[in-house]
């Protein structure tokens, strides 16, 4: 394959990894922040449930799938980038 095609694949896969993975990751992080703020507010008001673990939820199945797809596309982008440098 031409070095230029490897570069195009690397750029496309990197952009795809960002477009797929970043929204899922940021949604997970923002939900975690909201859950943390809710727990702190309830504790401040004295209405927190004592002795129970945190109510924070992990990633949803859809978010986890999108992050895995983004990671796989990131690996493809890195391999294509190495191939670009090896063939040029």
pLDDT tens digits for range 20-60: 999 998 888 877 666 666 676 676 677 666 665 555 667 88
Residue 64 backbone class (left: φ over 0; alpha: ψ -120 to 50; beta: rest) = alpha
DSSP 48: P
Q: Domains of the chain: which residue ranges?
A: 3-46+61-87
| CA dist 2 → 31, 60, 73, 81 (Å) | 44, 40, 20, 12
Q: Structure pTM? A: 0.73
CA 49/CA 36 separation, integer angstroms: 14
């Amino acid at each position: 394959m031409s070095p230029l095609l490897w570069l195009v694949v690397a750029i496309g896969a990197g952009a795809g990894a960002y477009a797929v993975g970043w929204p899922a990751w940021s949604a997970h992080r923002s939900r975690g922040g909201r859950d943390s703020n809710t727990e702190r507010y309830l504790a401040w008001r004295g209405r927190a449930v004592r002795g129970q673990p945190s109510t924070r939820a992990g990633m949803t199945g859809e978010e986890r799938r999108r992050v895995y797809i983004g990671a796989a596309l990131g690996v493809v982008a890195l391999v294509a980038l190495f191939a670009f440098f090896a063939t040029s």
